[in-house]
Amino acid sequence: MLSGLPSVAAGIVFLVSAAASLAASWLLVSRLEALAGRAGLSEGMLGLVAALAADAPEITAAVSALAHHQTHVGAGVTLGSNVFNLAALLGLGAAVAGWIGLHRKVIVLGGVVALWVAAVSLVVVTGLIPPLAGIVVVAVVFVPYVVVLAAEGWPDRLVLRPPAGMAGWLATAVAQEEAELEPALLDPALHSRPRGWRADAGVAVAALTAVVLASTVMELTATTLGDRLAVPGIVTGAIVLAAVTSLPNAVAAVYLANRGRGAAVLSTALNSNALNVIAGFLIPAAIIGLGPPSGTTTLVTAWYAGLTAAVLALSYRASGLRRGTGMAIIVAYLIFVGWLLAVAYQ
């Protein structure tokens, strides 16, 4: 039905569905945070839940594209949005705020997971291992990371305890991250509103349904318009849809950076990217299929992995990101866009 719409009408539908998807995802974030807060989750887990909810538009758009065998669009949405996240959340955040201060232990804690997930995605995209194997390899590092974030008051709560030295280091890193995340999350009043569990759960389900429907329509109209205008699928996914679906995260990151919540900005960017890869790329690719390796998809993934490594190295060296570094990250993203366009249209 959408494929039969005139181009102008399809463009309007795309804009409306994008706005609806982003608005519904913001509502979903607030309701899931409220539910998670009532459940007594740690601040680290609250941040992870919020990142997953905020990622709902790009994850849904990616799954929709892969389900319709638009592999370049599907892979491009998640992997391209990861490149955009680094530029918009960390680069733009630092450029606007002037300085994002970061604890080195927080950088290492999130950075190890981020680099691992990025490396695995690159290995999967190049066809060296199948997506299912990629899920298993990612889980080796990501699952312990989630356990550490969830075990508030640890290491006493952990069944398998790490060595004393490592336990102390991890406890300090998690405490530093949670100290930044606590005031950066939505108003704690959300967790104590008289509204009951059922009401919040009902709103969350309704918002998730709206995100899925609106994001699917957004992906279908974007793909339709791209086909009519002879826009390569990787451009539609990795540049257009990636940027549109990541805008709320970018706005939130600039706001947090201006408030001096550096660890919250870093956590948002890295957790969002990891969840994008797991839920929006590896899992659907394992179920639906990824197709043969593609040079353009590999290029996007290589930029995602390389820029992740560069941002983490620069952050660790200076214990934060200065305005000049933020501008350099943005310039790197613009080079990525130009390079991808040149390769896609050659």
List, for residues 220-254, the tens digit of each pLDDT value.
899 999 999 999 999 999 999 999 888 777 777 77
The pLDDT value given to residue 190: 46
What confidence tier does 163 reach under pLDDT thresholds 50, 70, 90? low
The pLDDT value given to residue 228: 92
Query: Rounded to 5 degrees, what angle do the CA atoms 280, 282, 286 make?
Result: 120
Which fold does the domain 2-344 belong to in CATH? A middle domain of Talin 1 (1.20.1420)
Residue-wise pLDDT for 181-219, tens only, equals 555 554 444 444 545 677 878 888 898 888 889 888 888
DSSP state of 158: -
The pLDDT value given to residue 306: 97
Q: Give the alpha-carbon dihedral of 143, 145, 151, 153, to 10 degrees.
A: 160
Residue 320: count of CB within 10 angstroms of its CB: 20
Q: How far apart are CA 250 and CA 237, in angstroms?
A: 18
**CA count, 13 A, side-chain hemisphere, 25:** 31
Is there a contact between 14 and 225 (Cβ–Cβ < 8 Å)? yes
The pLDDT value given to residue 140: 95
Average pLDDT, the chain: 84
Nearest Cα neighbor of 169 from 116, 103, 261, 114 is 103
Residue 287: count of CB within 10 angstroms of its CB: 12
Query: Per-residue pLDDT for 158 more than 80?
Result: no
Domain ranges in the chain are 2-344
Q: How far is CA 321 from the centre of its chain?
A: 20
DSSP state of 162: P
Q: How far apart are CA 150 and CA 272, in angstroms?
A: 17
pTM (two decimals): 0.86
The percentage of residues in the chain with a pLDDT greater than 90, rounded to a whole number, is 45
